[in-house]
Amino acid sequence: DRRVALDVDAHELGGGAVAGLLRFQNEDLVDARTQLGQLAAALSGKVNEQQALGLDLSNPAGSGAPMFAVGAARAIPNAHNAVDGSGQFIGQVSLTVTDATQLRASEYSLQADPGGAPGVWQLTRLSDGVVHNIASGDVLDGMRLDIGPPAPGATDRFLLQPVTRAANDMRRVLDNVNGIAAASPLSAATASTNTGTASVAALRVVSSIADPQLVASISFSNDSGDYSWELRDRVTDALQSSGVGTWTAGTPLSLNGFELELNGVPRSGDAFSVGKTQYPASNNGNALAFTALRDAAFVGRVALSGGGVGGGNTITDAYASAMSSIGVRVQSAASAAQISGAVADQAQTTLSSKTGVNLDEEAARLIQYQQSYQAAAKILQIAQTVFDTLLDAAR
pTM of the model: 0.77
A 10 A CB-CB count for 142 gives: 25
Q: How many CB atoms lie within 10 A of CB 10?
A: 18
Note whether 54 and 182 are within 8 A (CB). Answer: yes
Q: Is the backbone peptide bond immediately before 280 cis, with ω within 30 degrees of 0? A: no
Of 126, 113, 107, 95, the closest CA to residue 153 belongs to: 113
Give residue 307's pLDDT. 75
Cα separation, 257 vs 141, in Å, equals: 25
Q: How many CB atoms lie within 10 A of CB 113?
A: 15
Question: Which tens digit of pLDDT belongs to each residue from 66-123?
Answer: 999 999 999 999 999 999 999 999 999 999 999 999 999 999 999 999 888 888 999 9
Q: What is the mean pLDDT of residues 292-300?
A: 93
**Averaged pLDDT, 284-304:** 92
Say how many residues make up the chain: 395
Mean pLDDT, rounded, of the chain = 89
Asked if residue 263 has pLDDT above 80, the reply is: yes
pLDDT at 169 over 80: yes
Where would I find the beta strands (DSSP E) of 270-338? 271-276, 302-303, 309-310
pLDDT tens digits for 14-44?
Answer: 556 666 677 767 777 888 899 999 999 999 9
Residue 5 has pLDDT above 60, yes or no: no
* CB of 275 closer than 8 Å to CB of 187: yes
**Which residues are within 8 A (CB) of 126 and not within 5 positions of it... i.e. 6 or more apart?**
106, 107, 108, 109
> ∠35-38-39 over CA atoms, to 5°?
90
Q: 222-260: per-residue pLDDT in tens? A: 999 999 999 999 999 999 999 999 999 989 999 999 999
- Edge-to-edge strand ranges of the sheet holding 143-147: 93-97, 143-147, 139-140
